[in-house]
Amino acid sequence: MNLEDIEYKKLLGIYQKYFSLNYLNCNLGDKLGIIALTCRITYSIKQKHPEVTCYDVLLKIAKNFGDFDKKTFLKSLACICEDIMYGVTEYPDFGVQLKEAPKQLSKLLDNYIPF
């Protein structure tokens, strides 16, 4: 089956099941900040360690997440970030210095509510 063969509502259901950010109890700016900070941190690390992924970064920063949430929510968030990173070399800093970005990302991820 190809994408063009899937009805919109069915595709939306698949997306919402596997890639939704609705478990982040925050506003749009914070959700975009989570994505941008994850991408920025990952991009910076990739300059010396090209094998590092957004998933690696999120697993390191989101230490308080349980195993299930690491294997589901963080993995899907990492996929979204990897997709957005493609071909991008400049990321907004939201007024946060790179060395403080992991701390800010961790704080924003604290808005995660797994239900």
Q: What pTM was estimated for this model as a whole?
A: 0.92
Q: Dump pLDDT digits (tens) for 30-77.
A: 999 999 999 999 999 999 999 999 999 999 999 889 999 999 999 999
* pLDDT recorded at residue 1: 79
* pLDDT recorded at residue 81: 98
Q: Which residues contact 61 (CB under 8 A, 6 or more apart)?
A: 41, 102, 105, 106, 109
